[in-house]
Amino acid sequence: MHPSANAFDYLIILLSIILGLAIATLLGNFARLIDNRERIKLYWVSVLWAILLFLIQIQHWWSEYALQSVAHWTFGLFLLVLLTPVGLFLLSSIVLPQTIDGNEDIEAWYYRNRVWFFSIWMTLPLISFAKDAVNGSFAWNLNNGLQLIAFFLLGTALFTENRRAHAALVIVLAALIFYYLVALFVQLPG
């Protein structure tokens, strides 16, 4: 490795590529919705999830700056760090349709992909807990407490098809995510 580079500078490149692909996929899906707005039936719950996903993607990239303080990288820790951007990419791929053939019903799309969407999203707090445990920095704090609450709310969305419950859950999780961003990530970590 070049003397002026460190492990973080090297490893963040792959994380950024995967996260960039996730953001590009999500934004491309938004662009297709806008372009085909006359031919689709929008579902505000799905659109709000997509907006929240975009915020979480940006927050994740922002928060990973704190990893520069990791002194000893292992392949296992690096894999754990990469799992979150991979999960965010998969979520970006299924939150909104990537192709629109005709009169697409976004609500039907949402409920057809609900189990995969929430199963993948539920893994993200668990990956975060595992990453902190492997890194030796796990502590019950506001960050982990909010992620645990999100885990259970996402689990509720996973196990119910009730439309009103999904509407309520996306609003509650939106409030939780906004609080999470304001309380923990206003300034660059590290």
Sign of CA dihedral 149, 154, 158, 164: positive
Comparing 46 with 141, the larger pLDDT belongs to 46
123-179 pLDDT tens trace: 999 999 998 888 888 888 888 899 999 999 999 999 999 999 999 999 999 999 999
Q: Tell me the average pLDDT across 14-39.
A: 93
Output the pLDDT for position 183. Answer: 85
pLDDT above 90 covers a percentage of the chain that reads 62
Residue 45 banded pLDDT, cuts 50, 70, 90: very high
Instruction: Please state, rounded to an integer, the average pLDDT across all residues of the chain.
Output: 90
Q: Which pLDDT tens digit goes with each residue over 84-117? A: 999 999 999 999 988 777 778 899 999 999 999 9
Eight-state DSSP code of residue 68: G
pTM: 0.91
- Would you state the pLDDT for residue 103? 73
Domain locations in the chain? 7-184
All residues at 6 or more sequence positions from 90 whose CB lies less than 8 Å from its CB, including other chains:
120
The answer on pLDDT for 185 being more than 80 is no
Residue 67 has pLDDT above 70, yes or no: yes
CB under 8 Å to 122, separation ≥6 — which residues? 151, 154, 155, 158
**Residue 71 — very low, low, confident or very high, per pLDDT cuts 50/70/90?**
confident
Q: Check residue 155 and give its pLDDT.
A: 96
Q: How many CB atoms lie within 10 A of CB 175?
A: 10
